[in-house]
Amino acid sequence: MRLRGDMATVLLTGFPGFLGSALLPLLLQSRPDDTAVCVVQAHHRDLATERLAELTASFPELAGRVDLVDGDITLPDLGGAVDPDVSEVFHLAAVYDLAVPADVAERVNVAGTAHILDLCRRAPRLRRLHHVSTCYVSGTYPGVFREADLDVDQDFANHYESTKFDSEMLVRAAAAEGMPVTVYRPGIVVGDSVTGETQKYDGPYFMANFLRRQPHHAVLPRVADPDRIVISMVPRDFVVTAIAALSTMAESEGRTYALVDPDPPTVAEVVAEFARLLDKDVHWVPLPLGVTRRTLSLTRLEKLLGFPEEALAYFAHPTRYDTTQASTDLADAGLTCPGFADYAAAMIDFVVAHPDVSSEAMV
């Protein structure tokens, strides 16, 4: 497939996902002469068509500038449908699921990234690969994980973390070989900081729903010191705005950015704010992490409480994330990450109004 003569073409994976759908219009707004190709799995084709129509209605400048192409990052050459003559590649597609099986995580997160890198190596006009990773490539590293860090002999809590680490290692190796690369590491992505809109309930949403389902006097397991453990969340609108801004900066090539609140709230602060907004009186019950995980692993109890045991470790997560490079470069663009207190109410309002949003990952 050859696109519109010599116009520059942006390739996007992960559409019509939560981040990809919000990022697409921002990319084309900042690149008024470019077009975009979104690689879409066949079983998401109808949703992608509907989502593109919605975006075009809101952003008329997208009209005629976006092609949806059937493809699959888990296949060599992405299934053979994508012309490598692209100028920029934004690789967002991944399985974000803390309980993802090893084979699925390996196929999507690692092999999928390897196939994207192969396409980039064959792209004669490639200006940059923009790889969306995660802060949790840190695994369970105890202490401050810096943006330049990657392999620090860390352990991992699940296959999601380990395969995102492996995929970023592949990207770092390609960069060492000369490929122009920028890496973005969001924290736990939550809904829009203004509207609260989200596509999936996970991370802190498990805590919100856990509290919401309890009586006024709510009980929470204290698996770690809630005044010392932080929750490294970040609103979707900040993530996509930051990626769009950083991707246009020449100096961002070769850099890695932690896209997360530089002053994250503690578990205690998150619980206190959610409890206030939901009118709950919280009582902490000290319980070892292992005991609490085994209890929540009982299928019927997990469904009743709405709190999967895989998520529990993130309320005892020992890592903090340095954001020096991201904060510095985004300040030049006039962007700062909203603080939790600025959007907590929007999160809870959306949860209360939309109790049936799924926690399932898009695969």
- Residues 174-203 pLDDT 10s: 999 999 999 999 999 999 999 999 998 988
* 42 within some domain: yes
* Domain match, 247 and 346 both: no
Which residue has 């620090």 as its token pair? 152
* 298 within some domain: yes
Return the closest-CA partner of residue 187 out of 30, 291, 317: 317
* Domain match, 99 and 215 both: no
pLDDT for the residue numbered 193: 97
pLDDT for the residue numbered 290: 59
* Domain match, 276 and 303 both: yes
* Domain match, 72 and 210 both: no
| Whether residue 4 has pLDDT greater than 50 | no
Asked whether 260 and 215 are in contact (CB, 8 A), the reply is no
| Whether residue 295 has pLDDT greater than 80 | no
* 362 within some domain: no
The string of pLDDT tens digits covering residues 332-352 is 899 999 999 999 999 999 999
* Domain match, 179 and 288 both: no
Q: Report residue 301's pLDDT band, with 50, 70 and 90 as the boundaries.
A: very low
Q: Report residue 318's pLDDT band, with 50, 70 and 90 as the boundaries.
A: very high
Split into its structural domains, the chain has a count of: 2
* Domain match, 206 and 246 both: no
* 4 within some domain: no
The string of pLDDT tens digits covering residues 266-278 is 999 999 999 999 9
* Domain match, 275 and 177 both: no
* Domain match, 172 and 255 both: yes
* 358 within some domain: no
* 111 within some domain: yes
The string of pLDDT tens digits covering residues 201-242 is 988 998 999 899 899 999 888 878 899 999 999 999 999 999
The mean pLDDT of 97-112, rounded to a whole number, is 94
pLDDT for the residue numbered 5: 40
The string of pLDDT tens digits covering residues 71-84 is 999 999 998 778 88
Return the closest-CA partner of residue 353 out of 187, 196, 186: 196
The mean pLDDT of 48-67, rounded to a whole number, is 97
CB-based burial label for 118 (10 Å; 0-12, 13-18, 19+): middle
The mean pLDDT of 93-107, rounded to a whole number, is 93
pLDDT for the residue numbered 203: 87
* Domain match, 215 and 276 both: yes
140: region left, alpha or beta (phi > 0 left; psi from -120 to 50 alpha): alpha
Which residue has 């005044």 as its token pair? 227
Q: Report residue 292's pLDDT band, with 50, 70 and 90 as the boundaries.
A: low
The mean pLDDT of 27-33, rounded to a whole number, is 95
Two tokens, residue 199: 């596509």
Q: How far apart are CA 180 and CA 174, in angstroms?
A: 8
CA angle, corner 201, sides to 235 and 304, nearest 5?
A: 150
Residue 168's domain comprises: 9-188+234-259
* Domain match, 156 and 77 both: yes
CB-based burial label for 113 (10 Å; 0-12, 13-18, 19+): buried
* Domain match, 106 and 164 both: yes
pLDDT for the residue numbered 294: 57
* 3 within some domain: no
* 171 within some domain: yes
Asked whether 141 and 197 are in contact (CB, 8 A), the reply is no
pLDDT for the residue numbered 362: 54
Q: Which residues pair with 131 in a beta bridge?
A: 91, 183
pLDDT for the residue numbered 257: 98
* Domain match, 246 and 348 both: no
User: What CATH number does residue 118 fall under?
Assistant: 3.40.50.720
